[in-house]
Amino acid sequence: MKEINEYVEAHKQRFLDELFELIRIPSISSLPEHKDDMYKAAEKWKEFLLAAGADKAEVMKTDGNPVTYGEKIIDPKAPTVLVYGHMDVMPVDPLELWNTDPFDPVVKDKKIWARGADDDKGQSFMHAKAFEYLVQSGKLRCNVKFLIEGEEEIGSPNLPKFCKKNKKLLKTDVILVSDTSMIAPDVPSITTGLRGLAYWQVEITGPNVDLHSGIYGGAVANPINVLAKMIAQTLDDEGRILIPGFYDDVVEVSKEERSLMAKAPFSLQEYKKSIGVKELAGEKGYTTNERAGIRPSFDVCGIWGGYTGEGAKTILPSKAYAKISTRLVPNQDYTKIEKLFAEYFESIAPKSVDVKVAYLHGGPSYVCPIDLPAYKAAEKAYTDVYGKQPVPVRSGGSIPIIAAFEEILGVKSVLMGFGLGSDAIHSPNENYPLEQFYNGIRTIPLFYNYFAEEAKK
Amino acid sequence: MKEINEYVEAHKQRFLDELFELIRIPSISSLPEHKDDMYKAAEKWKEFLLAAGADKAEVMKTDGNPVTYGEKIIDPKAPTVLVYGHMDVMPVDPLELWNTDPFDPVVKDKKIWARGADDDKGQSFMHAKAFEYLVQSGKLRCNVKFLIEGEEEIGSPNLPKFCKKNKKLLKTDVILVSDTSMIAPDVPSITTGLRGLAYWQVEITGPNVDLHSGIYGGAVANPINVLAKMIAQTLDDEGRILIPGFYDDVVEVSKEERSLMAKAPFSLQEYKKSIGVKELAGEKGYTTNERAGIRPSFDVCGIWGGYTGEGAKTILPSKAYAKISTRLVPNQDYTKIEKLFAEYFESIAPKSVDVKVAYLHGGPSYVCPIDLPAYKAAEKAYTDVYGKQPVPVRSGGSIPIIAAFEEILGVKSVLMGFGLGSDAIHSPNENYPLEQFYNGIRTIPLFYNYFAEEAKK
């Protein structure tokens, strides 16, 4: 502990400088104009891994954005840890809400402010530095593999195929990921469940051109009116999703587990205050944490159509669009939900409009058992650094590839997240507290030590 | 008739050239960046009126965009006609759907293609040329006043005040307006009723920033989900508007009048084909023409919120917006409806969001009796040019100022429209058939003659 603390202290500024080089590459995977940046980010990661002590590192092709793979094999008999992270980030709009340039990181109020500061450049980079320390200090007791991808924020569409093709290369005993949050800086937690996701874009077409709302209004179906009604028909007043069959595979969480979950420290007042709402809303019969963790959800992530400029334009629009997502819980099959939603949404459309449902992406949910040796190792590592045993929590977010890893590579992942709820990931002014960044670098080497011990048992 | 036909024939190209000068000024009243263009258009009209033979013409201030006023007083005892038109046009987006530059008019397929080609630059300009002919030929038997305004497309917010201030200047026996359509080139019609309008912008605010839909989805009210539900709650499945009190002042049109209306030539098949829809929709118990003419309507003219870029961004948005309009029928008071909607929309908002309703503009409905002398004069003029008696029709569009004229100046308006349903006013590729443009110039002088006769009776 002392030695790693000293190492972090001695290299603090360099760690930041290196991370900032990565953050300055605007690697937004959902925008095609940033294609080149994905390659730049992948090359930067290769450079990092070689500098940190990897035996080899390379930028490898997929059917989409490249991945960076690196490894250090110390002993074929030693346990192997595969570190997964992602170098791509979310778009930054609305840009006017940022206080600083999202791709020009700054440190202020003891936090790093930038897109990717937490998700996932900041968090994945901690692994490069923890690995550097273990190599430099000669204390590495595991084989280490790195797999850093560039399409996580768009649902990792090409990584499963890459994994299938490279099963041998990626052979490991456990996958280690830092892409989640803890409850608070003084309440360490480890995410043991992730929700799945299915995401669509819908397009409603009425007349073939925007019409004058005075001349046609009332006589021709308005695609925005229709879309609003269709969305309203998909979610009832008690927060239940009305797609037939949607809940069929949902396994209700036991009373015992729900009462354990309820013991996690949580202030409804602070939660509401942090997001600026007077009241919360959600599925009847569940608490806020349950709604976000163990229950599916339905959100329109974006909507547009008709006249959206200044002032009043009296049209009956030709088209209306929405981006719609559902979060799924363990045992719900996202490929089945994909079809259920499309069928339902098409079935409720009146004949006066055309509806197109395009599936954009999705992924399964995931559960990590808390008696897994790697989980135990992570638990001990956090306890050493934070002075408290971490709480296992179910998170509402999705990392679609985690479930795919289990299916393809046959191994579980441990989600050692160091983010905080206030990090504003996916939002303007994303940030990452320096203390969490450095604590991550302190905690990860301990994981390797404990995992090597656990694996010997 | 022969003489006016020869005059039109001799000056055809010049008429177009002059109109095109006006069209090239992008006088979009709803966009503040076109403020200067409003002044340019007003000066252009002044130039037109003086050149056509007005005794005087001037650009006059209002609290908003200027108006152009011009007059020729031939005899204080002669009847006076005030020509009303508007020089402002609608926005042009979505620009990518235009086949030509909206502000660079071209003639193709015997039509003028440009924003304002019909509404209302093309139609109002016919009056300048009809007036020119009457002056040139020495056949003008009425006093003529022109009032061309620059805020019709945003609801003429400042013209009522201008009219109150200038009652003497605007004193007239009738107001003549070309800003409506006929049924078809071979089915002349005169609009005898106009729907009123009320238009709002609503803003729904949930959390104070876009949230991660995985972490918060299901536990925090999504303002787009909420807005969709609120819109759905405002219109039922049978096309009835659910705002309490909305229909209180609606006077049902008599069976007799409805059966007369039903005699107007109308092909449901062609109507559907012209706008590219398979089925129509609207209030139960009414025909398509009734829905658009004698019944109120509710249309969301625009909607936006959340992520609307390419690909998938998994957010629970902070805000959602919509532009919402209702069309009103005679006896509905738009100032009362303004409040009813705002109260209703605020009342149905859940406490988990904030809702703001901003009233943008509105205007009353209007009815023109078909036994009015000026209506009779218009009827005869159309009959001479088109060879058929024009059909009186109720239109769904609104010209808010027409009802205000009646209230302030105490005179009725006659709506001698020469537009066609296919002119795509307010839409991309607005157009105006040359034949309608020239027929308008041929018909208007006959109106003046018949009106001078009718007024003598």
B125-139 residue pLDDT tens: 999 999 999 999 999
B310 contacts A213? CB cut-off 8 A: no
- CA-CA distance, B27 to B89, in Å (whole number)? 6
pLDDT at residue number A113: 98
Q: Which of B97, B227, B292 has its CB closest to that of A217?
A: B292
- CA-CA distance, A294 to A265, in Å (whole number)? 17
Q: Closest chain B residue to A199 measured between Cα atoms?
A: B312
pLDDT at residue number B364: 86
- CA-CA distance, B68 to B24, in Å (whole number)? 18
Picking from B288, B259, B284, the residue whose alpha carbon sits closest to that of residue B272 is B288
Q: Which burial class, exposed, middle or buried, applies to B359 when counting CB atoms under 10 A from its CB (0-12, 13-18, 19+)? A: middle
Tell me the CB-side half-sphere exposure of residue A50, using CA atoms within 13 A.
11
Q: Which of B282, B291, B312 has its CB closest to that of A154?
A: B312
* B288 vs A contacts (CB less than 8 Å): 219
Q: Closest chain A residue to B155 measured between Cα atoms?
A: A312
According to DSSP, residue A252 is labeled P
Per residue in B273-293, pLDDT (tens digit) is 999 999 999 999 999 999 998
Q: Closest chain B residue to A210 measured between Cα atoms?
A: B427
B288 contacts A396? CB cut-off 8 A: no
pLDDT at residue number A111: 98
* Alpha-carbon distance values, A159 to A55, A335, A378, B39 (Å): 23, 17, 26, 60
Residues of chain B with pLDDT under 70: none
Single-letter amino acid, residue B27: S
pLDDT at residue number A177: 97
Picking from A23, A29, A74, the residue whose alpha carbon sits closest to that of residue A48 is A23
* B303 vs A contacts (CB less than 8 Å): 224, 227-228, 303-306, 308, 320
Question: Measured between CA atoms, how close is B31 to chain A, in angstroms?
Answer: 7
Picking from B303, B304, B313, the residue whose alpha carbon sits closest to that of residue B217 is B313
- CA-CA distance, A352 to B91, in Å (whole number)? 27
B302 contacts A317? CB cut-off 8 A: yes
DSSP secondary structure, A408-443, as one string: HH---EEE---B-GGG-TTSTT-EEEHHHHHHHHHH
Q: Which burial class, exposed, middle or buried, applies to A220 when counting CB atoms under 10 A from its CB (0-12, 13-18, 19+)? A: buried
A323 contacts B313? CB cut-off 8 A: yes
B219 contacts A311? CB cut-off 8 A: no
Question: Measured between CA atoms, how close is B290 to chain A, in angstroms?
Answer: 8
Q: Closest chain A residue to B325 measured between Cα atoms?
A: A314
Q: Which of B311, B327, B395 has its CB closest to that of A213?
A: B327
* A224 vs B contacts (CB less than 8 Å): 231, 299-303, 322
A302 contacts B224? CB cut-off 8 A: yes
Q: Closest chain B residue to A194 measured between Cα atoms?
A: B214
A277 contacts B221? CB cut-off 8 A: yes
Mutate to test the interface with A, among B29, B226, B275 (most CBs of A within 10 A): B275
- CA-CA distance, B274 to A208, in Å (whole number)? 9
* A350 vs B contacts (CB less than 8 Å): 279, 281
Q: Closest chain A residue to B316 measured between Cα atoms?
A: A301
B288 contacts A217? CB cut-off 8 A: no
Instruction: State the ipTM, two decimals.
Output: 0.75
Question: Measured between CA atoms, how close is B98 to chain A, in angstroms?
Answer: 11
pLDDT at residue number A112: 98
Question: Measured between CA atoms, how close is A345 to chain B, in angstroms?
Answer: 15
- CA-CA distance, A314 to A320, in Å (whole number)? 16
Q: Closest chain B residue to A153 measured between Cα atoms?
A: B313
B320 contacts A352? CB cut-off 8 A: no
What average pLDDT is seen over chain A?
95
* A222 vs B contacts (CB less than 8 Å): 299-300
pLDDT at residue number A403: 87
Q: Which of A313, A360, A427 has its CB closest to that of B301?
A: A313
pLDDT tens digits, chain A, 457 residues: what are they?
899 999 999 999 999 999 999 999 999 999 999 999 999 999 999 999 999 999 999 999 999 999 999 999 999 999 999 999 999 999 999 999 999 999 999 999 999 999 999 999 999 999 999 999 999 999 999 999 999 999 999 989 999 999 999 999 999 999 999 999 998 899 899 998 889 999 999 999 999 999 999 889 999 999 999 999 999 999 999 999 999 999 999 988 888 778 877 878 889 999 999 999 999 999 999 999 999 989 999 999 999 999 999 999 999 999 999 999 999 998 899 999 999 999 999 999 999 999 999 999 888 888 888 889 999 999 999 999 999 989 888 877 777 789 889 999 999 999 999 999 899 999 999 999 999 999 999 999 999 999 999 877 7
Q: Closest chain B residue to A293 measured between Cα atoms?
A: B215
Per residue in B172-210, pLDDT (tens digit) is 999 999 999 998 899 899 998 889 999 999 999 999 999
* B213 vs A contacts (CB less than 8 Å): 297, 299, 301, 325, 327
* B97 vs A contacts (CB less than 8 Å): 209
Q: By 3-state DSSP, what share of chain B in percent is helix, strand and coil, each rounded to 5?
A: 40, 25, 40
Q: Which of A31, A216, A323 has its CB closest to that of B396?
A: A216
Residue A60: CB atoms within 10 A of its CB come to 17
Map out the domains of chain A with their CATH numbers. 2-194+365-456 (3.40.630.10), 196-250+296-363 (3.30.70.360)
A428 contacts B32? CB cut-off 8 A: no
According to DSSP, residue A455 is labeled H
A275 contacts B300? CB cut-off 8 A: no
According to DSSP, residue B421 is labeled G
For residue B107, give the 3-state DSSP assignment: strand
- CA-CA distance, B408 to B120, in Å (whole number)? 23
* A298 vs B contacts (CB less than 8 Å): 217-218, 225
- CA-CA distance, A193 to B103, in Å (whole number)? 58
A297 contacts B218? CB cut-off 8 A: yes
Question: Measured between CA atoms, how close is B364 to chain A, in angstroms?
Answer: 13
Query: Burial letters for B30-52: b for 16+ Cβ neighbours within 10 Å, e otherwise?
Result: bbeebeebbebbbebbbebbeeb
* A208 vs B contacts (CB less than 8 Å): 275-277
pLDDT at residue number B396: 74
Per residue in A6-59, pLDDT (tens digit) is 999 999 999 999 999 999 999 999 999 999 999 999 999 999 999 999 999 999
Task: Give the list of residues 6+ apart from residue A389 with CB closer than 8 angstroms, or none.
Answer: A188, A379, A382, A383
Task: Give the list of residues 6+ apart from residue A158 with CB closer than 8 angstroms, or none.
Answer: A62, A63, A64, A65, A151
According to DSSP, residue A103 is labeled T
B314 contacts A301? CB cut-off 8 A: yes
